[in-house]
């Protein structure tokens, strides 16, 4: 017997009332499923309700009712997961349970006589207005009374809208008693020396095994092992390891936990477990992660939510985003304290893809009432359950107590002893150690150092090249060690997304609808579009207001490419041996609402141009130019794979206006798991002033490019530096470029083959019926670039579109009939 969903059972009804009122018979309306109020509102299912209920759902109580199906599991148990937030449960007319923590999963036995289920979700707004004891310090991020209630801050902050989750955010399920018992077992895979082990622990205070019953654990097709039912550790010898995708294969092994009555299987639970070694070294109190004894630079972004509008997990969209991010080179993502713990399917997907997870406990920015017994009991139950649940996933490799609590207290001038309370310092880490002793823990992010937010010690949130309007030199001056949150920028989506959601391209940047999707911090007189304009002025030597007014298409094109360039510059430096940085996670991976948000993916789950920019600095095999001031550039070569790579490094110096070119090639062998740094001047064999530092006469070069190619001229990586800025001369005579674009099918793949006689930079492709796997690429003179084209639908043969670039005065038409498979 497996879990059965009640969410889509026939016969659900819903009612909305004033707080603490009881719905009348006429208040009940039919609904297609027991989904969140948010999802039902978005889909128009509640349009018949009074205007107040639709416009201010958080001010109301919401009631769900179902006549329970006659067909039900034996000794049925109702599984209630992620109910937001204050709720009550009735069977028939009898109240049976009340909950106040949306992060705890509850298991309620269903009486055999029960015929009706009723759920009430009480108004959170009404309780937030109730007077509570004052905190020692207050945040300006959210209503400070939220510190008393265990719910996500999504919907309560200025950057996440004004509607918080109401109702069941995960499916309502009922199970038989045996299945509910197995569901609460904790399985933790570990590696001790060369021995792969599974620690199996039963639910506490929930003994089930009766006379004649026994429990088994089976790895793959091996002989099942009988468990005592009291918790134990099983050894399985040396098995293939789970690896991060950039270093190998994320091997997983099928494990079956089953409860038997003699030869009859009463219930079973099947999962995939990965075995990996995890060690963490510290440098200036910042972590360096070693997976299976190999150090790995952590790069990626912070996850937000797959479906904020409905507050439900969107498995298809999450897979699309995480797969594309993995392919772009992401090795770690963070689930921050302002968000929520994700569904099991999310962590299972990370295991499958070989992507690591940094998990914050769901606390952020507030002075939590850790000395209140009821609050402490609820928070402890939450972390105990979440830690046991997540201990089975190889991807989860780090825990942090909260987001920005210590920073907030320090910035408000609180004494050091108030920055960190006993909950984050002692109680919470003890719960985590009990679930998985291998997990490293930090009490807050950022933390450590003279002040928690100093960047050269411990964890840092780095927004120097961003909100604080610092230049690229600050990347080296700040000496960032590890930043779980950094480089928040307003990234423009592509024109197709903008047209779909706003009805015009390029974006109408001062319409209310557009501005609603531009992130801003609470209490600030600027937003992150202003930050982007600051760098637009700096890198393109233009007036952003004038450019937006006179050439809105040119403004949009430069804006959407610029932020990806800024991110790539940071990661090219941070990943090199010229920097002490050991990891950086961009703020955010995916947008919550349509617009130019922090996300590298738009709210539909499509990659923004900024992702293609930063992907050039995220690859497992990587070449970079690292500016070293008067010492010129250093050449950084990285190989994260377990095999040596024979390659060719080509350094190209260009003056695009005069057409001057200087090129130098060098054969190299990149050792496995290597990261090397070499003076570019030693490679060139002479002085070329590649950083434009000495100013002896006119600048000789405006493009410095380095390319890493393998066998058959396969391009592994390329990085371009622009000493004079990004506003290179525009080519009005397209014939001078010698640009050719050919489309060919090779096996199952369709490729766009590009070549040019002169430099073309930031080439973008706008296609109908197809997607380009890469965007924003550069064409060096006579260098061939290959871009894989992915059809929107199977059987697609007609390809139409155009190519544009920053130094092309007009677009280049692309048209072809592709041979069908």
Q: Cβ-count burial of 160 within 10 angstroms (0-12 exposed, 13-18 middle, 19+ buried)?
A: buried
18 in the same domain as 165: yes
Does 473 have pLDDT greater than 80? yes
Q: In what order do the strands lie in the sheet with 482-486?
A: 441-442, 396-400, 356-360, 332-335, 298-303, 583-586, 482-486, 459-462
Which H/E stretch holds residue 318?
A: helix 315-328
125 in the same domain as 73: yes
Tell me if 601 is assigned to some domain: no
Count of other CB atoms within 10 angstroms of residue 416: 12
Residue-level pLDDT at 523: 83
Tell me if 742 is assigned to some domain: yes
The conformational region for residue 769 under phi > 0 = left, psi -120 to 50 = alpha, else beta, is left
Tokens of 185: 């077992």
pLDDT band at 277 (very low <50, low <70, confident <90, very high): very high
Average pLDDT rounded to a whole number, residues 732-748: 87
Tell me if 196 is assigned to some domain: yes
Tell me if 439 is assigned to some domain: no
Question: How distant, in Å, are the alpha carbons of 129, 149, 362, 401 from that of 146?
Answer: 10, 5, 12, 17
Question: How distant, in Å, are the alpha carbons of 295, 540, 620 from that of 327?
Answer: 20, 30, 10
Last residue of a domain, one of 273, 296, 319: 273
Residue-level pLDDT at 1: 42
Average pLDDT rounded to a whole number, residues 250-256: 98
Q: 3-class secondary structure for 352-372?
A: HHCCEEEEECCCECCCCCCCC
Tokens of 2: 């497996």
212 in the same domain as 137: no
Q: What is the pLDDT of residues 442-466, one digit of tens each?
A: 999 999 999 999 999 999 999 999 9
Tokens of 237: 């010898």
The residue among 608, 605, 592 whose CA lies nearest residue 507 is 608
Tokens of 700: 């000789």
pTM for this entry:
0.96
Last residue of a domain, one of 229, 253, 273: 273
Residue-level pLDDT at 791: 92
User: Parallel, antiparallel, or unpaired: how do β-strands 83-84 and 61-67 relate?
Assistant: unpaired
- Sorted by sequence, the CB contacts under 8 Å of residue 761 that are 6+ apart come out as 703, 720, 728, 778, 779, 805, 806, 807
Residue-level pLDDT at 795: 84
User: Parallel, antiparallel, or unpaired: how do β-strands 4-5 and 29-30 relate?
Assistant: unpaired
Residue-level pLDDT at 333: 98
Work out the end-to-end distance of the chain between its first and last CA atoms, rounded to an integer number of angstroms. Answer: 43
Tokens of 683: 């490679």
128 in the same domain as 50: yes
Q: What's the CA gap between 710 and 570, in Å, rounded?
A: 25
Does 206 have pLDDT greater than 70? no
Residue-level pLDDT at 242: 98
Q: What's the CA gap between 534 and 462, in Å, rounded?
A: 18
Higher pLDDT, 819 or 599: 599
Question: What angle is formed at CA 219 by the lines to CA 642 and CA 437, rounded to 5 degrees?
Answer: 70
The residue among 502, 499, 507 whose CA lies nearest residue 556 is 507
Residue-level pLDDT at 451: 96
Residue-level pLDDT at 207: 64
φ, ψ of residue 705 to 5 degrees: the values are: -125, 145
Does 494 have pLDDT greater than 50? yes
Count of other CB atoms within 10 angstroms of residue 673: 16
Residue-level pLDDT at 821: 60
Q: What's the CA gap between 716 and 713, in Å, rounded?
A: 9
161 in the same domain as 195: no
Q: What is the pLDDT of residues 495-544, one digit of tens each?
A: 999 999 998 776 677 788 899 999 998 888 999 999 999 999 999 999 99
Q: What's the CA gap between 199 and 216, in Å, rounded?
A: 13
pLDDT band at 208 (very low <50, low <70, confident <90, very high): low
98 in the same domain as 120: yes
Q: What is the pLDDT of residues 692-730, one digit of tens each?
A: 888 877 677 999 999 999 988 899 999 999 998 999 999
Q: What's the CA gap between 564 and 555, in Å, rounded?
A: 15
Provide Rg for the chain, Cα atoms: 28
151 in the same domain as 87: yes
- Please say whether the beta carbons of 354 and 250 come within 8 A: yes
Write b or e for each residue in 496-525: b if 16 or more Cβ atoms lie within 10 A of its Cβ, otherwise e: bbbeebbeebbbebeeeebeebbbbeeeee
700 in the same domain as 630: yes
Tell me if 64 is assigned to some domain: yes
**Helical axes 373-390 vs 428-435, angle rounded to 10°:** 30
Q: What's the CA gap between 764 and 607, in Å, rounded?
A: 13
Average pLDDT rounded to a whole number, residues 38-47: 95
- Please say whether the beta carbons of 722 and 762 come within 8 A: no
Q: What is the pLDDT of residues 363-404, one digit of tens each?
A: 999 999 999 999 999 999 999 999 999 999 999 999 999 999
Q: Residue 642: CA atoms inside 13 Å, Cβ hemisphere, count?
A: 10
Q: What is the pLDDT of residues 627-638, one digit of tens each?
A: 998 999 999 999
What range does the domain containing 636 cover?
619-727
Tokens of 812: 């280049």
Number of domains making up the chain: 4
Average pLDDT rounded to a whole number, residues 728-748: 88
Q: What percent of the chain has pLDDT over 70?
A: 99
- Please say whether the beta carbons of 157 and 518 come within 8 A: no
SS3 content of the chain, % helix, strand, coil (to 5): 20, 30, 45
Which H/E stretch holds residue 533?
A: helix 528-540
Provide the mean pLDDT of the chain. Answer: 94
List the CATH number of the domain containing 659: 2.60.40.10
759 in the same domain as 659: no
Q: What is the pLDDT of residues 550-575, one digit of tens each?
A: 999 999 999 999 999 999 999 999 99
Q: What is the pLDDT of residues 749-773, one digit of tens each?
A: 999 999 999 999 999 999 998 999 9
- Please say whether the beta carbons of 275 and 384 come within 8 A: no
Tell me if 462 is assigned to some domain: no
Q: What is the pLDDT of residues 661-687, one digit of tens each?
A: 999 999 999 999 999 999 999 999 888
Q: What's the CA gap between 554 and 561, in Å, rounded?
A: 11
Q: Cβ-count burial of 566 within 10 angstroms (0-12 exposed, 13-18 middle, 19+ buried)?
A: buried
- Please say whether the beta carbons of 656 and 599 come within 8 A: no
13 in the same domain as 104: yes
List the CATH number of the domain containing 49: 2.60.120.260
Residue-level pLDDT at 74: 82
**Helical axes 552-574 vs 528-540, angle rounded to 10°:** 90
Does 35 have pLDDT greater than 80? yes
- Please say whether the beta carbons of 563 and 610 come within 8 A: yes
Q: Cβ-count burial of 617 within 10 angstroms (0-12 exposed, 13-18 middle, 19+ buried)?
A: buried
Q: What's the CA gap between 281 and 505, in Å, rounded?
A: 49
Tell me if 483 is assigned to some domain: no
161 in the same domain as 123: yes
Last residue of a domain, one of 126, 148, 175: 175
206 in the same domain as 252: yes
Tokens of 455: 């960047």
Does 580 have pLDDT greater than 90? yes
DSSP, res 199:
E
Tell me if 414 is assigned to some domain: no
């Amino acid at each position: 017997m497996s879990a059965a969903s009640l969410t889509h059972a026939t016969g659900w009804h819903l009612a909305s009332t004033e707080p603490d009122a009881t719905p009348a018979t006429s208040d009940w309306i039919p609904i297609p499923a027991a989904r969140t109020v948010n999802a039902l509102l978005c889909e128009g299912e509640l349009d018949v309700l009074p205007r107040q209920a639709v416009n201010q759902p958080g001010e109301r109580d919401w009631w769900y009712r179902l006549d329970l199906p006659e067909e039900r599991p034996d000794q049925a148990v109702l599984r209630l997961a992620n109910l937001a937030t204050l709720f009550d449960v009735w069977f028939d007319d009898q109240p049976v349970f009340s909950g106040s923590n949306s992060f705890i999963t509850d298991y309620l036995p269903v009486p055999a006589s029960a015929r009706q289920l009723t759920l009430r979700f009480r108004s959170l707004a009404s309780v937030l207005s109730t007077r509570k004891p004052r905190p020692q310090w207050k945040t300006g991020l959210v209503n400070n009374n939220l510190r008393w209630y265990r719910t996500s801050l999504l919907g309560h902050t200025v950057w996440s809208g004004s509607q918080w989750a109401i109702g069941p955010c995960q499916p309502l399920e009922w199970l038989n008693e045996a299945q509910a018992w197995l569901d609460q077992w904790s399985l933790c895979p570990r590696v001790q020396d060369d021995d792969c082990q599974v620690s199996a622990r039963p639910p506490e205070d929930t003994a089930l095994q009766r006379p004649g019953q026994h429990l088994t654990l089976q790895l793959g097709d091996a002989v099942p092992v009988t468990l005592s039912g009291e918790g134990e550790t099983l050894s399985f010898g040396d098995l293939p390891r789970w690896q991060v995708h950039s270093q190998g294969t994320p091997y997983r092994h099928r494990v079956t936990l089953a409860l038997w009555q003699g030869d009859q299987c009463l219930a079973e639970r099947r999962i995939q477990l990965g075995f990996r070694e995890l060690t963490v070294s510290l440098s200036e109190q910042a972590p360096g992660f070693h997976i299976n004894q190999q150090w790995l630079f952590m790069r990626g972004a912070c996850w937000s939510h797959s479906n904020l509008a409905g507050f439900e997990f969107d498995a298809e969209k999450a897979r699309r985003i995480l797969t594309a991010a993995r392919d772009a080179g992401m090795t770690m993502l963070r689930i921050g304290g302002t968000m929520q713990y994700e569904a099991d399917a999310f962590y299972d997907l990370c295991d499958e893809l070989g992507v690591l997870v940094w998990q914050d406990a769901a606390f952020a920015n507030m002075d939590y009432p850790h000395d209140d017994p009821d609050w402490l009991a609820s928070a402890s139950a939450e972390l105990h359950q979440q830690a046991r649940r997540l201990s089975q996933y190889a991807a989860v490799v780090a825990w942090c107590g909260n987001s920005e609590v210590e920073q907030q207290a320090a910035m408000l001038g609180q004494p050091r002893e108030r920055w960190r309370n006993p909950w984050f310092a002692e109680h919470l880490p003890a719960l985590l150690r009990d679930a998985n002793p291998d997990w490293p823990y930090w009490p807050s992010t950022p933390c450590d150092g003279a002040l928690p937010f100093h960047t050269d010690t411990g964890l840092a949130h780095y927004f120097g090249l961003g909100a604080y309007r610092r230049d690229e030199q600050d990347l080296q001056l700040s000496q960032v060690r590890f930043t779980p949150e950094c480089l928040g920028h307003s990234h423009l989506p592509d024109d197709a997304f903008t047209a779909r959601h706003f009805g015009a391209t390029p974006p109408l940047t001062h319409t209310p609808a557009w501005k609603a999707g531009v992130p801003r911090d609470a209490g600030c007189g600027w937003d992150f579009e202003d930050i982007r304009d600051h760098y637009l002025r700096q890198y393109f030597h233009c007036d952003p207001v004038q450019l937006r007014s006179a050439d809105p298409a040119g403004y949009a094109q430069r804006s959407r490419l610029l932020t990806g360039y800024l991110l790539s510059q940071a990661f090219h430096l941070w990943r090199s041996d010229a920097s002490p940085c050991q990891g950086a996670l961009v703020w955010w991976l995916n947008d919550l609402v349509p617009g130019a948000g922090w996300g590298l993916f738009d709210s539909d789950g499509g990659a923004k141009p900024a992702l293609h920019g930063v992907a050039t600095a995220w690859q497992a095999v990587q070449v970079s130019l690292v500016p070293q001031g008067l010492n010129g550039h250093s050449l950084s070569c990285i190989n994260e794979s377990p095999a040596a790579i024979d390659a060719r490094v080509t350094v190209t110096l260009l003056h695009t206006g005069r057409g001057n070119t200087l090129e130098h090639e060098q054969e190299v062998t990149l050792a496995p798991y290597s990261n090397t740094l070499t003076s570019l001047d030693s490679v060139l064999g002479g002085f070329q002033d590649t950083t434009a530092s000495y100013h002896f006469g006119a600048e000789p070069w405006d493009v410095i490019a380095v390319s890493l190619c393998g066998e058959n001229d396969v391009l592994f990586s390329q990085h371009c530096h622009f000493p004079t800025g990004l506003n290179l001369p525009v080519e009005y005579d397209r014939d001078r470029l010698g640009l050719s674009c050919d489309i060919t099918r090779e096996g199952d793949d369709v490729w766009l083959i590009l070549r040019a006689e002169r430099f073309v930079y930031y080439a973008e492709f706008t296609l109908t019926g197809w997607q380009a796997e890469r965007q924003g690429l550069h064409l060096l003179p006579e260098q061939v670039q290959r871009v894989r084209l992915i059809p929107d639908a199977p059987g697609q043969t007609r390809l139409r579109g155009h190519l544009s670039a920053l130094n092309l005065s007009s677009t280049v038409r692309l048209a072809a009939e592709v041979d069908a498979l």
